[in-house]
Amino acid sequence: MLWRSSRQFLTGHPAQLLLALAGIAAGVAVMTGVALLRGALLESLERVDAALVGGEGVRVVALAGPVPEDRFVELKRTPGAPELVPVLIGRVSVAGQALELTGIDPFLSRQLFGDGGVAGLPATLTAGPETVALSVATADRLNLEKDTRLEARIRGRNRELDWIGVEGLPAGMEDRLVADISTAQVLLDRPGELSHILAPAGSEAWLGDHLPDGLALVTADQRRADADRLTGGMRANLAALSGLALAVGMFVVFSVLSFLFVQRRRSFAVLRGVGVRPGQLSWLMVREALFLGAIGTLVGLGLGSWLAQGLMELVREPVGDLYQSLPARTLTPALWLFPVIGLFGLVACLLAVAPVAREAARVPAGRMLAPNPPVMAVGRRLMGAAILILAALLLLIYPGALWLALAGLFLLMAGYALLVPWLASGLLALAARASGAGLGMRGVAMLRSGQARIGPALSALTLAVAVTAGIGMMISSFRVSVDDWVTRLLQADAYLTIDEGQIDGEFARAVAGLPELEGVSSARRTTLADGRVLVAYDLPTRAWAGFDWLEAADDVQARFEEGRAVLVTEPFARRYGLALGDRVDLEALPDPDGLEIVGIFRDYSTDQGFIALAGPDYREAFDDPVRDNLGLYFEGREIPDNFVGRLAESVPGAGTARLTKPADIRSRTLAVFDQTFRITRALQILLGLIALVALVSSLLALALERARDYATLRALGLTRLRLAGLVTGQTLGLAAVSVILAIPAALVLHGLLTGVIQPRSFGWSLPMSWPLASLMVVVPWALAAGFLAGLYPAWKIARRDPAPWLKERL
Amino acid sequence: MRRVARSYLSGNRRVRVLEDLDLDLPAGQRLAIMGRSGSGKTTLLHLAGVMDTPDSGEIRIAGRAVQDLGEPFRTRLRAREIGLVFQDFNLMDSLSVADNIGLPLWLNGIRDSGRVGRLAEQLAVGDLLARYPWQLSGGEKQRVAIARALVHRPRLVLADEPTGALDEETAADVLALLAQATDEAGVAVLVVTHSEQAAGICNRRLLLATGRLQEAPAVAVK
Ligand SMILES: Nc1ncnc2c1ncn2[C@@H]1O[C@H](COP(=O)(O)OP(=O)(O)OP(=O)(O)O)[C@@H](O)[C@H]1O
Ligand SMILES: [Mg+2]
């Protein structure tokens, strides 16, 4: 019987039913979408880790740079040597997709492929000079036709390769091209070089005794720790965003459903009045909430999966570029994720129904008939304030751990959302005082009388708008920081690289001797055996203006050039807990005390951080004369005409030299930045869309609920135009209220993301800037949504005679 | 009204409520319409109030065929010339009693020169002006609704059971006021009622049955 009355209400208000379901679905979808995306990214990070760890085997790497192949041969010939596999890894791109090319010795690769190996692989790979193997699945994905050649772009050149699809490549080898080691060396233009040597687990002891100088051992555990470090920042970032998405999603579900119930307080009161027991009524509400929640949640789960799939397409490439491992194209979400999110959705539903159910059980039926419930807002307000205080404590008192900061962030937003209805009623009271006696006053009065209903909706809206705007501000302000940093960093007038061959000492000296040049800088980047990154700098005085010091010795330049001193980046210092004057150990530069840190500088190029060492020290210790690039400082501060031509003539080996202007590097850096933040942007867009759906649906529901009042006004002679003004004015007003309340929350969120979360997840601090433009872009969207939400009901009511509306519902 | 018909779609069945209905209401006349519950009285009143459109037939008010007028004219007609007491009052919960009564003045852009207060006094709701409709009793709401229908001095007053929620004594006062307020020349009144007392202030009574109006006997058949 009671159940039937619920059903009648819901089917009698199809628009509201749909809106409620849409709202619940949207809330659940945002949770699902973000969770799935996060799952997929984490999974790909796992794969990055797995790829980096590369099984349980031991790796032999060079202290810096590549392993010379002759060292491998030497080691292999040592009596008693375990089975050693030479490996060379490089990046190629096929049909615009980034892939890894892995060169191995197929006859020695039992460790990679197990005892059985992959049938026929050795024969296949050595069949021709330019043959690669790839899994059948990868070949399908790249749309490779049988009997055609594979066109790949390798080191800036287009190559055509023979390829063979094989079944049964082990997981780590999917999405890769596998080639014979000598083929890989030719293709990658790295003759005589290896990335590392693989040795079976358990061979540490033997290797430790026989390892030649300049090589080091890396165990699987060490690699695992490195890999975790490499992907830690992204993990933290994802955790922050999914926490926010969870908060927004739950509030959306909460608001939509609680509206549906608060709206029916009267009918519940009538039911109580005719003798329905409070328990029965509460049970009815819970059942109804669960029923609607279940449908909405199911739809939301599907919708979220679909959204996540779309977003995945957007973020695959940047993730692949960042971590050298592409996330899978199709999401294979962990199955437990769905019930868990479903549960969150249902919990939000139950939380939404709880206050009304409690009221129905406790408050005398007669009192429930009053349209303004004796709001339980006080309790909610206290709870909100308590949560805010807790959040502040978490953020201020324990500034150490990242997860505490994340919890603080989550609580801060949730607490604020609980306070929103109260703040909104204050705003409406102000508006009422300001609006005089016209249409506006009547509109505001109508809103104020419905506060209990619009409260939760306003919470959800405010939260969604704040999160969208806050993330947007964080990204913009970060981009400004990166731009400032890179612009300052690039002091040279041009940067020189060569496509073929290497820049060695002789080359560098020859360039420096050119008359047009005032100075030349150089940089060489290398990864140490323990995963730390080392950059060797030779810097003329002008280049030193490029450092943005966080801490530095007074005579930093002199100390650095003297040698036996290093500079470190901010993320490096933070990661290893180092300060100015501390010492860094470098195995290749043995020094009992380590090398003193004479400067810590801002750097956003990698959250791993790096150590900068003076060029001469580096070359001496690592026996590596190569420079990755040269910075050219011209007398006239710009590239003279025909410089490239003269360079090619007077410097041997400079035939393929290429000059890049700082502006180009800057824009490339920003492009990379934008790529990287596509993930965050994608999540932000998702949240924004949900916010929009939630905004329109709750405002629409509010307007529809007032259909009878609007019809009465029409019957009394309110013109259609003024009615439209009234309805849209109200929805617009609500949107405006939530935007106004969202602004402080967005600012705080941005401040926390930028000032607390970023440094703790990536190790870099960002100069705080307040890009109000990113805040303001959400304003027109929110207001437009508010306006649109009012148009439909206004149009609908105005289209027909008022009499039917007095009886019927929308 | 000439040959007016109005039917509702209920499910997939068409319910004919008014059929070929004729009605004349000269200015200055007070007309009572009686009839059994569900006979279509409210429907008729809504049609007369230009809030609804007949399926067929013609409705003329002050000589103009209102069903052919554009919505702006119909709206203006409602705001200026018609005062309507709804059967279930339709007061705006979000507005105070004073604002509810003042609504038609505001809609017509007339400044309230104390008329709201005077009318409220006369209808014995003067003490309730600051309250909200949901804080009123049924009878109080009814009187507020009546005040709202009279406040802008409409030329056509339509009242749907205006004394349904009132005791006999209050009803007499209210009816007297209704009669007095509409006594000026040119005001026409249409009262839907079951009550003999209310019909008593009218100079003519009609019975609505099977979709048509017929002259009613002076005393309702018991
Ligand atoms: N929207 C509607 N849909 C279907 N039928 C309707 C609708 N509105 C009214 N009716 C039917 O039309 C008939 C006339 O309704 P109306 O409200 O005019 O009756 P009434 O004479 O005012 O009754 P009462 O004296 O009980 O107020 C009734 O039978 C009613 O059931
Ligand atoms: Mg009726």
- How many Å apart are CA A296 and CA A44, to the nearest integer? 30
Q: What mean pLDDT, rounded, does chain B reach?
A: 86
A-B CB pairs within 8 A amount to: 79
| Per-residue pLDDT tens over the stretch A133-162 | 888 877 887 788 877 888 888 877 788 888
DSSP A503: B
Neighbours of ion ligand 2 (CB under 5 A): B 42, 87
Q: Is the pLDDT of residue A804 over 90?
A: no
pLDDT computed for residue A590 by the predictor: 72
Residues from chain A that touch B75, judged by Cβ atoms under 8 A, are: 714, 717-720
Output the CA–CA distances (angstroms, integers) from residue A167 to A58, A144, A171, A174, A761, in the order listed.
27, 15, 11, 10, 40
Of A719, A720, A803, the CB nearest to B46: A803
Q: A405 CB contacts (<8 Å, ≥6 apart)? A: A394, A395, A399, A752, A756, A757, A760
Q: What ipTM goes with this model?
A: 0.85
Q: What's CA B177's distance to the chain center, in Å? A: 15
Hey, is the C-beta of B170 within 8 angstroms of any chain A C-beta?
no
Give residues (CB < 6 A) around ligand 1: A 807-808; B 8, 10, 15, 17, 35, 37-43, 87
Q: Going by DSSP bridges, is the β-strand pair B64-65/B82-85 parallel, antiparallel, or unpaired?
A: unpaired
| Per-residue pLDDT tens over the stretch A434-446 | 766 666 667 777 7
**A interface mutation test: which of B42, B59, B93, B155 has the most A CBs within 10 A?**
B93
Interchain CB distance below 8 Å, A715 and B90: yes
Count the Cβ atoms, other than its own, within 10 Å of residue A44: 23
Counting runs of H as helices and runs of E as strands, what totals does chain A give?
A: 29, 21
Indicate the pLDDT class of residue A810, thresholds 50, 70 and 90: very low
| Per-residue pLDDT tens over the stretch B129-177 | 998 888 888 889 999 999 999 999 999 999 998 888 788 888 888 888 8
pTM of the model: 0.74
N- to C-terminal Cα distance for chain B? 29
Indicate the pLDDT class of residue A61, thresholds 50, 70 and 90: confident
Residues from chain A that touch B49, judged by Cβ atoms under 8 A, are: 715, 803
pLDDT computed for residue B52 by the predictor: 86
- How many Å apart are CA A220 and CA A222, to the nearest integer? 5
Specify the 3-state DSSP secondary structure of B19: strand
Of A449, A450, A803, the CB nearest to B52: A803
Q: Is the pLDDT of residue A475 over 70?
A: yes
| Per-residue pLDDT tens over the stretch A444-474 | 777 777 666 778 778 888 888 888 888 888 8
Query: Domains, chain B, ranges and CATH?
Result: 2-91+155-216 (3.40.50.300)
* Lookup: tokens for A197: 């040597």
DSSP A528: B
Out of A41-45, A48-52, A724-728, A767-771, which region has the weakest mean confidence (pLDDT)? A48-52
Output the CA–CA distances (angstroms, integers) from residue A164 to A107, A128, A150, A168, B184, in the order listed.
17, 11, 10, 13, 103
Q: Which of A212, A32, A196 is nearest to A103 (CA)?
A: A196
pLDDT computed for residue A809 by the predictor: 44
Interchain CB distance below 8 Å, A717 and B76: yes
Report which protein residue has its CA nearest ligand 1's atom 10.
Answer: B8
Mutate which of B4, B21, B42, B47 to test ligand 1's pocket (most atoms within 8 Å of Cβ)? B42
pLDDT computed for residue A566 by the predictor: 92
Indicate the pLDDT class of residue A567, thresholds 50, 70 and 90: very high
Indicate the pLDDT class of residue A505, thresholds 50, 70 and 90: confident
Hey, is the C-beta of B97 within 8 angstroms of any chain A C-beta?
no
Q: Residues in chain B, how many?
A: 222
Which has more pLDDT, A252 or A299? Answer: A299
pLDDT computed for residue A28 by the predictor: 82
Q: Is the pLDDT of residue A89 over 70?
A: yes
Which has more pLDDT, A796 or A411? Answer: A411
Ligand 1 centroid vs B42 CA: distance in angstroms? 7
Residue in A closest to B73 by C-alpha: A719
Which residue bears the tokens 């933070």? A574
pLDDT computed for residue A374 by the predictor: 45
Q: Is the pLDDT of residue A81 over 50?
A: yes
**Crossing angle of helices A278-323/A14-53, nearest 10°?**
40
* Lookup: tokens for B200: 């008593």
pLDDT computed for residue A612 by the predictor: 92
Q: Is the pLDDT of residue A38 over 90?
A: no
pLDDT computed for residue A96 by the predictor: 73
Burial of A497 (0-12, 13-18, 19+ CB in 10 A): middle
- How many Å apart are CA A569 and CA A604, to the nearest integer? 9
Query: Which amino acid would we find at residue B54?
Result: P
Hey, is the C-beta of B71 within 8 angstroms of any chain A C-beta?
yes
Q: Is the pLDDT of residue A99 over 70?
A: yes
* Every domain of chain A and the residues it spans: 1-52+255-371, 58-218, 379-491+663-810, 494-660
Residue in B closest to A438 by C-alpha: B106
Hey, is the C-beta of B67 within 8 angstroms of any chain A C-beta?
no
Q: Which of A788, A726, A728, A738 is nearest to A443 (CA)?
A: A726
| Per-residue pLDDT tens over the stretch B77-112 | 888 899 989 888 888 877 889 988 988 888 888 888
